[in-house]
Amino acid sequence: MDKLDLSLLDWPVKENIRQIEISGLKIGGNKALSFMKENNNRFKPVVAIEIPYIVDSSYPEILRKEWGICDESGCCTEEDFCKKAQDSCADIVSVKFNLTEENVDKKIEEVKSFLKNVLSKITKPLILRGANNDAVDLKLLPVLAEFAPKECIISFAQDTTYEKIVPYTAKYNHILVLRSPIDINLAKELNILSIDKGQNADRILIDPDMGGLGYGLDYGYSIIEKIKQAAFDGDKMLNMPVIAFIGEESYRAKEAKSDTFSKNWGSFDERAVMWEISGASAMISAGADIVVLWNPKSVQVIKGLL
């Protein structure tokens, strides 16, 4: 069979995806059809491993075993937990600061110490995530931006919080994740509003608020495709890299966190990790530039696929 003439694929592309660089790691920057060309401009998504700041009862048992944590207080210290994440094959280390509203001001003071004494030792790029609670994040994320040990990805601002968060991420030159609920128009609007507020367009990641199998594979896949197509068609307010928090959504599903099903469901350990891998690989196929996973085994498999 004759070799495919790849020059046939060189029809005009109005715009490339913006490229963000953090601690030497490049995110995005791809262009349409580059994955089919025999050159060095192939689409290269990156993989993050996420750990919780507080290991509480909601943290899945399978992940406790994987990380070597035997109880809620933890057999490993915060430093050990972070070191294991640092030593993994992930490109990025993500920490979710899962604080509650109770005594939040005191807890945020403790976070400052953690940022200085623990996260300053992480050499990989960092994602610093809030609690997914507006009341907490409006206090927490400005602190994360101000006291971060280095340039970081701060996650996330949305339509109810961006006005208070953007001034800090812009001032301290962090990359900001902007989350909107599976709607291309809302994603674009939030990008525009944040840029108007001072966030550099080249320091934005789009979070479509899904993680593969969370809201349903078809919804998640299609919205990323729509965002990417609009970007390639020349929409400069949608050509930012896309991030998908796969682990968080995957481990909400009963299939990934419950071992109470019949034997024909297969091995629970294998099923849980495959649930996360399936979501991640699908979102990468759709065009996600960063996938954030919880299980180190998932990271190993996805890195191998890439």
Give the pLDDT confidence of 110-144 residue by residue, as tens digits.
999 999 999 999 999 999 999 999 999 999 999 99
- For 190-207, b where at least 16 C-beta lie within 10 A, e where not — what string? bbebbbebebeeebbbbb
- 46-305 CATH: 3.20.20.20
Angle between helices 217-232 and 268-286 (to 10 degrees): 20
User: What is the 8-class DSSP label of residue 252?
Assistant: T
* Of 20-29, 104-113, 208-217, 291-300, minimum mean pLDDT range: 208-217
DSSP category for residue 111 = H
Highest mean pLDDT among 26-40, 142-156, 204-218, 241-255: 142-156
- Per-residue pLDDT, averaged over 163-189, amounts to 96
pLDDT average, residue stretch 278-293: 92
Q: Which residues contact 27 (CB under 8 A, 6 or more apart)?
A: 19, 20, 21, 46, 205, 241, 289, 290
Which comes out higher in pLDDT, residue 133 or 39? 133
Tokens of 14: 């109005």
pLDDT of residue 38: 46
Measure the CA–CA gap between 205 and 224, rounded to whole angstroms.
Answer: 12
pLDDT digits (tens, 9 = 90+) for 227-243: 999 999 999 999 999 99
Residue 280's pLDDT is what? 92
- Does the pTM surpass 0.85? The reply is yes
Using CB atoms within 10 A of its CB, is residue 140 exposed (0-12), middle (13-18) or buried (19+)?
Answer: buried
Higher pLDDT, 302 or 255: 302
What integer pLDDT is reported at residue 1 of this predicted model?
45
Taking 90 as the threshold, does the pLDDT of residue 13 lie above it?
A: no
Percent with pLDDT over 90 in the chain = 63
How confident is the model over 191-220, as a mean pLDDT?
86
- Of the two residues 62 and 19, the one the predictor is more confident about is 19
Predicted local confidence at residue 7, as pLDDT: 52
DSSP single-letter state for residue 148: -
**Residue 140: HSE in the Cβ half-sphere, 13 Å Cα cutoff:** 29
Residue 70's SS3 state is coil
CB 212 within 8 A of CB 244: yes
Considering only CA atoms, give the Rg of the chain. 19
* Averaged pLDDT of the chain: 87
Question: For residue 220, what pLDDT band results from cuts at 50, 70 and 90?
Answer: confident
Q: How many beta carbons lie within 10 A of that of residue 77, not counting itself?
A: 10
Q: Domain residue spans in the chain?
A: 46-305
pLDDT at 296 over 80: yes
Tell me if 155 sits within 8 A of 130, measured CB to CB.
yes
Q: In 3-state terms, what secondary structure has residue 301?
A: helix
pLDDT of res. 104: 95
